[in-house]
Amino acid sequence: MSTPATGLHHVELVMGTAVSFDIRDNVAERRGLDAAIAWLHHVDQTFSPYIPDSPISRLGRGDLTLDDVDDEITGVLLQCEQLRADTEGAFDAFAVPAPNGTMLDPSGYVKGWSIERAATILETAGHTDFTINAGGDIAVRGHAAPDTPWAIGIRHPEDRNQLAMVLDVIGPAAVATSATYERGAHIVDPRTGQPTTDLASVTVVGPDLSSVDAYATAIFVMGLRGLQWLAKHPGHDAMAITHDDRVHLTPGFDKWRRRVDCGGHVVKGG
């Protein structure tokens, strides 16, 4: 008979959101959890456009140059540039007004990247079955219980008390949703400088939250044609919900949909 999972549960306020850790395996010590939390605070202090003296704010103002910052920052900016090219400008960390008054805001990539790295820190510490949920963007590892996938609930964009869909997810995987229901029309099309609201929500599932989170933002900006654009990224699937309550899926998304209510706790995604 297997030993019941001990589990660790923690919520950390960091990067402007609540990041929840739900660890279901038998590694009871907090070493990995504490290291993951410390990493997220490091990321916040380094990349937050809300902190005036963060390196990213200073870089955006011109107080620093690329020669003055470390490889971690230049690596993130390189990834953002690759995403800009890949999405034909629908995701652009260099062309959207930032809270610090500059035009440099890589946070649309940094959140998913940092949560994915936090998941790697937990794995290095021996954890195998957990989720890290950062405001509805979720890194998934292993199972919720033996032979049981994680149930990820996708919030209905027009009714906060309803779920549009429940997904069955076994890690390693990631789920991210872009929508306007929490912060209003805050997603700006970098190509026009105007907020985009053609879609009600976009959810992307894939192997790595770094790309999944950015792709969800890009598709939200692109509109429904973004579902066709995603086809050139194997391993990624998407669901878009329009304001008339119609659900549009990429061909592979249906495999994630929960067929039968198996009970248990539903992790709320975006």
pLDDT in tens, 73-86: 999 999 999 999 99
> And the tokens for 205?
């599932």
Give mean pLDDT, residues 184-212: 92
Helix, strand, coil percent values for the chain (each to nearest 5): 30, 30, 40
CA 175 – CA 58 distance, rounded (Å): 32
- At residue 6 the predicted structure's pLDDT band, cuts being 50, 70 and 90, is low
- Residues with Cβ within 8 Å of residue 29, at least 6 apart in sequence: 125
Looking at residue 182, what is its pLDDT? 61
Q: Which of 32-36, 125-129, 264-268 has the lowest mean pLDDT?
A: 264-268
Closest by Cα among 254, 117, 135 to 183: 135
DSSP letter, residue 257: B
DSSP H helical segments within the chain, as ranges?
31-47, 55-61, 71-86, 107-124, 209-222, 225-229
Give mean pLDDT, residues 16-33: 95
CA 140 – CA 214 distance, rounded (Å): 17
Number of Cβ within 10 Å of residue 226's Cβ equals 24
**Regarding predicted confidence, which is higher, 111 or 265?**
111
Looking at residue 1, what is its pLDDT? 38
The CA-based angle 148-125-166, given to 5 degrees, is 25
Give mean pLDDT, residues 139-149: 97
Looking at residue 28, what is its pLDDT? 86
- At residue 261 the predicted structure's pLDDT band, cuts being 50, 70 and 90, is low
Q: At 141, is the secondary structure helix, strand, or coil?
A: strand
CA 234 – CA 29 distance, rounded (Å): 37
Q: Residue 14 forms beta bridges with which residues?
A: 17
**Regarding predicted confidence, which is higher, 264 or 18?**
18
